[in-house]
């Protein structure tokens, strides 16, 4: 289990616990949606102008424990 921190442009921080090998970005968006109340299709995750695709796993993007990512709303 790893914990990933997401910051949005409004100053809100969201901490999500997930599995590196099993979870995809789409699964991660659903976990974030459960905490924030925003529909998961409206969430966009970025890191340095790279938009993460829903079907890719966390392992593919080398997301590790304690990593900070950017959270945007579409």
Fold of 2-73: Ubiquitin-like (UB roll) (3.10.20)
**Per-residue model confidence as pLDDT tens digits over 3-59:** 999 998 888 898 999 988 889 999 999 999 999 999 999 999 998 889 999 999 999
The mean per-residue pLDDT over the stretch 63-71 comes to 91
State the pLDDT at residue 8.
86
State the pLDDT at residue 19.
86
Place of tokens 């100053």: 11
State the pLDDT at residue 69.
92
Q: Domain ranges for the chain, please list them.
A: 2-73
State the pLDDT at residue 42.
94
State the pLDDT at residue 49.
87
Six token digits for residue 67: 């990593």
State the pLDDT at residue 30.
94
Report helix, strand and coil shares of the chain as percent, to nearest 5: 20, 40, 40
């Amino acid at each position: 289990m790893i914990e990933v921190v997401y910051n949005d442009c409004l100053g809100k921080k969201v901490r999500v616990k997930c599995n590196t090998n099993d979870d995809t970005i789409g699964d991660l968006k659903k976990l974030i949606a459960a905490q924030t109340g925003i529909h998961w299709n409206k969430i966009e995750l970025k890191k340095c102008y790279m938009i993460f695709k829903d079907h890719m796993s966390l392992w593919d993007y080398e997301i590790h424990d304690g990593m900070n990512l950017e959270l945007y709303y579409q």
